[in-house]
Amino acid sequence: MATAFHNLSDYDPESVPNAEAMRFGIVVSEWNSKVTGALMQGAVDTLKQNGCPEANINVLTVPGSFELVFGASQMVKSGKYDAVIAIGCVVRGDTPHFDYICEGTTEGLALLNKEYDVPVIYGLLTCNNMEQAEMRAGGSLGNKGDECAVTAIKMVDYKARLARL
């Protein structure tokens, strides 16, 4: 488990570009809202701590993790955002539903990154139990939302640097 060796909230602030002029869309699953709410708050706080004005952050919800693909797609297509962060949480149950949701959502978000010119950041927790999810949503392993926000900032900066070459 990679997070056993790295806290999700640990990052070198000096390595993160200033996000003052960046615009972010965050699409959040309502399912497992205790976890996804904490992830979303971590992402928003980290964006703001790195210079992004609150007015440049737009958070919208979708019913479940599978709907993150449509929600992120609509944000990307709107042209309003420099990056989109997709936040969800799927916890393994007794049926193969977990596998289908995780695979479909992962493939859909990956396809958006391939097909469009806006980075879509993968913030889907896929956990075996709720304890694992809570540990990654501000618990002992940090907050995946923090990591997603840093990734979003760095990807927007990457695109800008590439355009200057």
Complete domains list, the chain, with CATH = 22-163 (3.40.50.960)
Q: Which of 150, 31, 144 lies closest to 90, judged by CA? A: 31
pLDDT at position 8 is 86
CA–CA distances in Å: residue 53 to residues 10, 21, 38: 22, 8, 20
- Written as six digits, the tokens of 91 are 């916890």
pLDDT at position 4 is 65
Q: How many CB atoms lie within 10 A of CB 120?
A: 29
State pTM to two decimals.
0.95
B/e letters for 12-38, b = 16+ CB within 10 Å, e = fewer, are eeeebbebeebbbbbbbbebbeebbbb
pLDDT at position 1 is 46
Q: From first to last of its 165 residues, what are the pLDDT tens digits of the chain?
A: 456 677 889 898 899 999 999 999 999 999 999 999 999 999 999 999 999 999 999 999 999 999 999 999 999 999 999 999 999 999 998 888 999 999 999 999 999 999 999 999 999 999 999 999 999 999 999 999 999 999 999 999 999 999 999
Calpha distance 99→90 (Å, rounded) = 9
Which residues are tagged catalytic? Answer: 97
